[in-house]
Structure formats: structure tokens, C-alpha cells
Amino acid sequence: MRRVRAAVAGANGYAGMTLVNLLELHPGVELAQLTSRSFAGRPYQSVFPLLERKGEFLAAPEPEQVDVIFSCLPHNVGAGLAAEWLTRGVRVIDLSADFRLKDANQYPRWYGQDHPSPGVLAQAVFGLPELHAAELPQARLIAVPGCYSTASILALAPAVKAGLAGPDVVVDAKSGVSGAGRSVGLGTHFSEVSDSVHAYAVSGHRHLAELTQELCSLAPAKPPQLTFVPHLIPMVRGILTTCYFDLMSPRDELEKVYFDFYAGQPFTQVLREPAATKLAAHTNRCLINVSQQGPKAVVTAAIDNLLKGAAGQAVECFNLAFAFERGEGLRLAAQWP
């Protein structure tokens, strides 16, 4: 098997650490560079105590030395760098939000500043393989979706595309604390989140923009009106989205649409019963259930926010982009209970 030389920029965060662990075991990857602005010059073991690979973190990737750069840099940090990397001939798989939205005018609203490289947005492919697998092999720039948007889009796409979802859709989403990243903050302090659940960004979470963009592209004539409310729950990893909309057909017909839509998909599975987040934890799976309560459809989706919601999906996109089998490096056993 040929080996692709890869760099991971921002390898010291949760998504970066998870990605390094996956790529280290991928038979088609030579993990050539790990970078960290805060750990530059320090040994890998300062972040990865169990990683057998020897070496020190670089301050920044050296694009001429690699074939692909996985960027796990914070939002609004990697966009300008990625544009430069692309001009130097390397492919980029970006795990931040910098290239997910096609309209540059959306970035000031959701991310508080103008996009630093708006001319690059047209090159980006939204890295959700269930919807965009055909575009990924030719992509030079891949924008891996957010964790909430991944679970929510997958939960709703079959119904929206088939015209079987009512015009008003409500998404109630809950995430573990690792979704906020590794940086220290009051909002993820143990004393603040333990034994408590709370809603946040009630007036509009930034992942709503991705969710709206993708679902409207599936039903441009009748785009759904979305209400999205995220919640933080006191667990380390996992996302559960519960989606409500008017049932426009018998439940059996709606369920069949979901089974048909995801037939042959290696990582998205429709189950007969709702899944707990623990069933998807430490895997790249999205587990979906279609149910009904009175006139409302109730669709749930469970994922691991660090895998299918971030690093695992990045590897899935990498496999499609570089002509590997889609599940290479991602055959991870569920850890139940």
C-alpha cells in the first residue's frame, strides 16, 4: 500500500489528538509532521504520553514536505494559512469552521469577522461523505462539518430530500463537554457543568448555518424552517440530536426512505430503536432511529463528537480523497457498556 505523507496542524487539541491516534494506525499514512503553537519544540510525549513515535512539535507545517495537511487550528486562525498551503501544492482537510459556509457574507454574523480568504471558499467541498462522496476525490480543500451539524443533517436529510418533513423542524441537541475543546474556560469548568444540564446559544448557534445550508440545498424549492437549540451535558463525549417535524406520510413510508437513503453507507445506520450515545462512542458511526409521537415524526441520531463529529470524519474524507477504502483506519469497535 502506498503511503501518503500527512501533517496535523494543531495536534494538541482534542480533535487533533484523536486524529493523530487514528492516522498513526492508518496503513496508508506516514505521519510526517505534528505542529502546535503552544507546544512547539517540545516532545510529542508531552501531549501523547503513550505515543511511541519520537519527535518534537513544529511551530507550523512545512507544506513542501507533505501531501496533505489536516488543520485542527481554531476558527479564524487557519483560513489564511490554508490559502497559502493550497498555493504551495498541498491538499488541506480543515476541521475548523473556516470553509464550511459557501457564502462569505455569513461569516461576520456567525464568527464575528470577515472571512480572511473569501476567494478560497469556492474550492471547498463540505466533508460529509453521505452527501458529498462524489466530490471528495477531486477536492483540494475539504471542510469537515461541525459535530452538531453532522448529527443533525444526517438525522434530517432523507426526510427533507424526499419532501416528507413538514415546513417547521425543531432540533434539540445535546453534547458532551469535549465538544468545547481543550482550552480552559469557565463554561466547561467541572464545578459549572457537573450534575447540571443547560441550553446555550438559544438565539442561534453557529452550526445552524451549516445545517440550513445543507438542508436547503436538498430542498431548494421548499427549504425547512429550522429551530436549533444545543445543550451541554456532563459527559466527556457524544452527541444526541432529537428532531421533530410534522409527519407528512405514514411512519412506515418515512422509515423506508431512511433505510433506502443510507443503504450501503458504511458508517450511518438506521436502527429500530433509539440509540444511546454510548453505543456510538469511540466509533465513526451515526446511529439513527425514526419514530412517531402523534402527528409528529421524532428522529434521533447519536454520534461521537470527536470521531464522526470531527477526526473520524476527517479520515473518512481523506480516504475518499486519496482513493483508499472508505473505512481504512476506522474499523473501531463499539465500547458497550
Known catalytic residues are 147
> What gap in Å lies between CA 160 and CA 163, rounded to an integer?
5
Alpha-carbon dihedral sign for residues 98, 232, 216, 269: positive
Query: Packing angle between helix 14-24 and helix 311-321, nearest 10 degrees?
Result: 50
C-alpha angle 123/125/130, rounded to 5°?
165
Q: Which of 196, 201, 225, 221 is nearest to 212 (CA)?
A: 225
At residue 60, what is the residue type?
A
> Cell numbers of 37, please?
503553537
Q: Which of 252, 260, 215, 243 is nearest to 300 (CA)?
A: 243
